[in-house]
């Protein structure tokens, strides 16, 4: 079993839709949770970073962590064509090392 | 624009060439990373430097040689690469390596093609 599983997509939605991107993880020792956005031919850009269960909101983006279910989500409200990118979830144990475990990524296309 | 700067953006080299990739950050971060990313795959960790010392080598072939001359700079020296080494090479940095899930910040990468 992979440590982090991510819905592979691709996902295509109309402009203005609410997008839900999801990952599950297997090890309850993971403490830190991140979402990165990667545009074509660019590096991953940190979108959201959280270390607790619950919701964290930043503009149109909401990151949700449910540690009891080992489930993390990213919601995008009022999606825009500029949101078209690959979204990567990542988890981290914290503690002795800062190694990231990435999901496989979900390619999102927002159609105008 | 990212705060981690990588040069060059693109590199084409033959299998017998020697070249270097460069990464620079001025955020005061003391951990720096090299990743390799193939198309439609997540980044794979190659090396980690912590306080300018090599902390992690993820069993990377010796044709890749990292160097950290100071706390702001990270190089990756390339020699006798193979066609399968063609990929996007990403540099990242974080405040520290050893604790508390510091977020990593990535550069835009060097797209490497081996002829």
Q: Check residue B63 and give its pLDDT.
A: 96
Distance from CA of A109 to the nearest CA of B (A): 15
Q: Hey, what are A36's tokens?
A: 């990165």
CB contact under 8 A, B42 and A99: no
CA distance B8 to A42: 13
Q: A94 to chain B: which residues are within 8 Å by CB?
A: 99-101
Q: What is the mean pLDDT of chain A?
A: 94
CB contact under 8 A, B100 and A43: no
Q: Is the pLDDT of residue A71 over 70?
A: yes
- CA angle centred on B51, ends A89 and B42, rounded to 5°: 20
Identity of the residue in A94, A95, A102 whose CB atom sits nearest the CB atom of B42 = A102
Q: Check residue A87 and give its pLDDT.
A: 98
Q: Hey, what are A83's tokens?
A: 């949101």
Give the residues of chain B that fall short of pLDDT 50: none
Q: Check residue B86 and give its pLDDT.
A: 97
Q: What contacts A79, CB < 8 A, 6 or more positions away?
A: A13, A15, A16, A17, A18, A19, A60, A110
- Calculate mean pLDDT across residues A8-31: 94
Distance from CA of A77 to the nearest CA of B (A): 24
Strands B73-79 and B64-70: antiparallel
**Nearest-10 Cα torsion for A41, A46, A100, B76:** 50
Identity of the residue in B40, B98, B109 whose CB atom sits nearest the CB atom of A97 = B98
Identity of the residue in A43, A98, A104 whose CB atom sits nearest the CB atom of B101 = A98
Q: Is the pLDDT of residue A91 over 60?
A: yes
Q: Which residues pair with A33 in a beta bridge?
A: A50, A91
CB contact under 8 A, B106 and A49: no
CA distance B74 to B86: 20
């Amino acid at each position: 079993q992979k440590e982090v599983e991510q819905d592979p997509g691709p996902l295509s939605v109309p402009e203005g839709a609410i997008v839900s991107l999801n990952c599950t993880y297997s090890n309850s020792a993971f403490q830190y949770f991140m979402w990165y956005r990667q545009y074509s031919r660019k590096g991953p850009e940190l979108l959201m970073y959280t270390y607790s269960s619950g919701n964290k909101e930043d503009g149109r983006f909401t990151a949700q962590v449910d540690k009891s279910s080992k489930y993390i989500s990213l919601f995008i409200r009022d999606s825009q064509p500029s949101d078209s990118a690959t979204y990567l979830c990542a988890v981290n144990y914290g503690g002795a090392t800062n190694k990231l475990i990435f999901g496989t990524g979900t390619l999102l296309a927002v159609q105008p | 624009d990212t705060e981690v700067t990588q040069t060059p953006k693109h590199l084409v080299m033959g299998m017998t060439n020697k070249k270097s990739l460069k990464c620079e950050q001025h955020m005061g971060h003391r951990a720096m990373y090299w990743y390799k990313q193939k198309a439609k795959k997540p980044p794979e960790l190659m090396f980690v430097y912590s306080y300018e010392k090599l902390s992690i080598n993820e069993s990377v072939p010796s044709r890749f040689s990292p160097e950290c001359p100071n706390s702001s700079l990270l190089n990756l020296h390339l020699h006798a690469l193979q066609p399968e080494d063609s990929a996007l090479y990403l540099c990242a940095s974080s405040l520290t390596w050893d604790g508390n899930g510091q977020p990593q910040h990535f550069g835009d990468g060097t797209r490497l093609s081996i002829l």
